[in-house]
Amino acid sequence: MNKNYIYGCLERINMKNKAQQRLKSSCIYVYHILSIGALNIWGCFYENRIKRYFEENGDYFRNLG
Residue 38: pLDDT over 60 = yes
Any long-range contacts for 23-26 (C-beta under 8 Å, 24+ apart)? none
Domain boundaries, the chain: 25-65
- % of residues, the chain, pLDDT over 90: 0
Residue 19: pLDDT over 60 = yes
Q: Which helix (H) or strand (E) holds 26?
A: helix 3-56
Overall average pLDDT of the 27-34 stretch: 74
